[in-house]
């Protein structure tokens, strides 16, 4: 079966459309599709050329235009030529107009503007890079969030997701028999989050890692893992100010937003 083509057309990067389509396509296990992304399309002349090509290839059109005239033109073209189409931003913008009682700016690429939020993200990413896996303990006070946990509990990927959201994150590994850095206990304990995971799930993750590295080790031994998890539970009992997040079968995104909620409650700023 040949692949079906999907055209994503945008007057900005098109990444929002790409993420939404991928999120939907994973629900179709045997689908064979080829996604083609056309970004920074800001003229009808350029749009017409792409639509004509899509028509000849019987492609689905998914578009994320902030300008109403570009959305309307695309919709009319697809309707006239009996093409499948998906207006990703239009319905959302229209609902926000009704809800906010304001008119949109219709300015493409506003998300890419260099502003204070951009520099905050850069600072957060640089800090997080320098404080991965226990490094830079002397600067833990500067962190917005400090993540602790056993090996392979998603500390690093969660930290970098949070950094992309503008939070300075340090992560510190918990290794039974090795003392945690003294600096960890000198900072505000309420911004420390301990990642926990089911021992059986942790074993599967570690086994997968060992298969890739082809190294013989007790790293994935279940008795050892169970003892490590129990050690963490005892540590949590001693430090009741720490927030605990169970990462079992959770995505990085779910874990990250749970951490934000625990540390900042409803007062955190959404970075867009």
pLDDT in tens, 205-230: 998 888 877 666 778 889 999 999 99
| Region 247-259 average pLDDT | 94
Q: What does the domain layout of the chain look like in residue ranges?
A: 4-112, 116-264
Helices 44-56 + 68-80 axis angle, to 10: 30
Report if pTM > 0.85: no
Q: Give the DSSP per-residue string, 132-143.
A: STTTTGGGGGG-
Of 149, 144, 172, the C-alpha closest to 263 is: 144
Rounded CA-CA distance 89/93 in Å is 6
Q: pLDDT by residue (tens digit) across 62-80?
A: 999 999 999 999 999 999 9
- Select 4-112's CATH number: 3.10.620, 3.40.50, 2.160.20, 3.30.460: 3.40.50
Indicate whether 203 pLDDT > 80: yes
Hey, is 239 helix, strand or coil?
coil
Q: Where are the beta strands (DSSP E) in the chain?
A: 4-10, 33-38, 60-64, 85-87, 145-149, 169-173, 192-196, 243-246
Indicate whether 113 pLDDT > 70: no
Half-sphere exposure of 116 (CA within 13 A, CB side): 0
| Region 118-139 average pLDDT | 93
Band (pLDDT 50/70/90 cuts) for residue 6 is very high
Of 21, 12, 19, the C-alpha closest to 111 is: 12
Per-residue pLDDT at 1: 63
Of 190, 135, 125, the C-alpha closest to 159 is: 125
73-93 core/surface letters (b: 16 or more CB in 10 A; e: else): bbbebbeeeebebbbbbbeee
Q: Is 175 left (phi over 0), alpha (psi -120 to 50) or beta?
A: beta
Per-residue pLDDT at 107: 87
CB 43 within 8 A of CB 60: no
Per-residue pLDDT at 18: 92
Query: What CATH number does the domain located at 116-264 have?
Result: 3.40.50
| Region 186-213 average pLDDT | 91
Do 4-112 and 116-264 show the same overall fold?
yes
CB 68 within 8 A of CB 16: no
Rounded CA-CA distance 188/63 in Å is 46
List phi, psi (to 5°) of 168: -80, 120
| Region 119-136 average pLDDT | 94
């Amino acid at each position: 079966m040949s692949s079906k083509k999907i055209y994503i057309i945008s007057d900005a990067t098109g990444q929002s459309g790409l993420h939404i389509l991928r999120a939907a396509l994973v629900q179709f296990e045997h689908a064979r599709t080829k996604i083609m992304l056309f970004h920074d399309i800001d003229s009808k002349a350029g749009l017409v050329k792409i639509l004509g090509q899509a028509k000849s290839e019987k492609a689905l059109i998914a578009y994320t235009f902030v300008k109403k005239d570009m959305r309307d033109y695309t919709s009319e073209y697809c309707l006239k030529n009996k093409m499948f189409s998906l207006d990703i931003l239009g319905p959302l913008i229209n609902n926000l107009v009704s809800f906010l009682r304001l008119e949109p700016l219709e300015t493409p690429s506003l998300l890419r503007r260099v502003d204070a939020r951009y520099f905050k993200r850069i600072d957060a990413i640089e800090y997080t890079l320098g404080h991965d896996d226990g490094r830079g303990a002397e600067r833990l006070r500067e962190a917005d969030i400090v993540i602790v946990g056993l090996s392979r509990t998603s500390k690093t990927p969660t930290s970098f997701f949070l950094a992309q959201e503008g939070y300075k994150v340090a992560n510190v590994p918990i290794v039974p028999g090795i003392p945690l850095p003294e600096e960890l206990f000198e900072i505000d304990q309420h911004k420390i989050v301990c990642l926990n995971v089911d021992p059986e799930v942790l074993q599967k993750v570690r086994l997968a890692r060992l298969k890739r590295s082809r190294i013989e080790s007790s790293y994935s031994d279940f008795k050892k893992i169970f003892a490590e998890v129990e050690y963490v539970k005892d540590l949590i009992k001693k430090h009741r100010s720490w927030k605990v997040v169970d990462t079992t079968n959770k995505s990085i995104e779910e874990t990250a937003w749970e951490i934000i909620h625990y540390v900042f409650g409803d007062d955190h700023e959404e970075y867009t």
